[in-house]
Amino acid sequence: MKEIFDRRSIRKFKDTKVPRELIEKMIEAARMAPSAKNRQPWKYIVFEGGSRDILLDVMDKGLIAALNEPSLPEAAKPGVYDAQNTLRIMRGAPVIILVLNTNGTTPFGPPQDIFGRITEICDTLSIGASVENMLLTATEEGLGTLWIANTFFAHEPIRAFLKSNDQLACAIAAGYPDETPVMRPRKDINDIVEYRE
Ligand SMILES: Cc1cc2nc3c(=O)[nH]c(=O)nc-3n(C[C@H](O)[C@H](O)[C@H](O)COP(=O)(O)O)c2cc1C
């Protein structure tokens, strides 16, 4: 409960290197998450140093390409600008972990049949559990993290860069925090629970 209440999204990190043992501990926690049919549909790719810079340059170019894409609806542009802001935050984090759904595919393909959709929902739920395990472990170790889904705006360029057919479910920025944000507002417990007897 302590880590659940202490965790915050961190958007400012110190330069300090994160020891490899802590990254391994986070991934060990991720691995222990429950998953639908125990499929464990996850893979983690850890980027540090020069490889992190190259990845973020790929994301940068992908976001510019998204903005220049004539078929991008005007209403979608603020989402891409937000992703550019997330990218700026990612550049300040010493570690970026990409989280792949190894059972997933591009979100830009044709709609799937009902079984495909249910499978994808279940795999996404499983990956969410695994990511939360990582974030709580990081909090326990004094690290700050940011859970990132804005990578979706550069999904295809990043996937091509990775030479992977998996779905890029999300990313995690991690490092020692250089800010102490207050808790972001939460819905009242009475507004989110309903007991039926
Ligand atoms: C699936 C998911 C995707 C998110 N994507 C982003 C993102 O791309 N950029 C960002 O700055 N924050 C992102 N966040 C962080 C949320 O904004 C944050 O969790 C929320 O505002 C609550 O704040 P807290 O994490 O400090 O409690 C994401 C969180 C989740 C769970």
Nearest ligand 1 atom, CA 89:
11
Element (H, E) at 29: helix 20-31
For helices 20-31 and 114-140, the axis angle rounded to 10 degrees is 140
pLDDT at 83: 98
> Which residue has its alpha carbon closest to ligand 1 atom 5?
148
pLDDT at 120: 96
Contacting residues for 37 by C-beta, under 8 A, at least 6 apart: 122
Q: What CATH class does 2-180 carry?
A: alpha beta
Domain residue extents for the chain? 2-180
Report how far residue 100's alpha carbon sits from residue 171's, in angstroms, rounded to the nearest whole number. Answer: 9
pLDDT, one tens digit per residue, over 78-134 is: 999 999 999 999 999 999 999 999 999 899 999 999 999 999 999 999 999 999 999
Judge if the beta carbon of residue 86 lies within 6 A of ligand 1.
yes
DSSP 58-101: HHHHHHHHHHH-TTS-GGGHHHHHHHHHHHHHHHT-SEEEEEEE
pLDDT, one tens digit per residue, over 115-127 is: 999 999 999 999 9
Report how far residue 120's alpha carbon sits from residue 112's, in angstroms, rounded to the nearest whole number. Answer: 9
Report how far residue 15's alpha carbon sits from residue 11's, in angstroms, rounded to the nearest whole number. Answer: 13
Residue 155 CA, distance from chain mean position: 12
pLDDT, one tens digit per residue, over 135-185 is: 999 999 999 999 999 999 999 999 999 999 999 999 999 999 999 999 999
> Which residue has its alpha carbon closest to ligand 1 atom 15?
147
Q: Is 43 exposed, middle or buried (0-12, 13-18, 19+ CB in 10 A)?
A: middle
Taking a C-beta distance cutoff of 8 angstroms, is the pair 165, 85 a contact? no
Q: Cα(196) to centroid of ligand 1, in Å?
A: 31
Q: Is the pTM of this model over 0.85?
A: yes
Q: Cα(84) to centroid of ligand 1, in Å?
A: 14
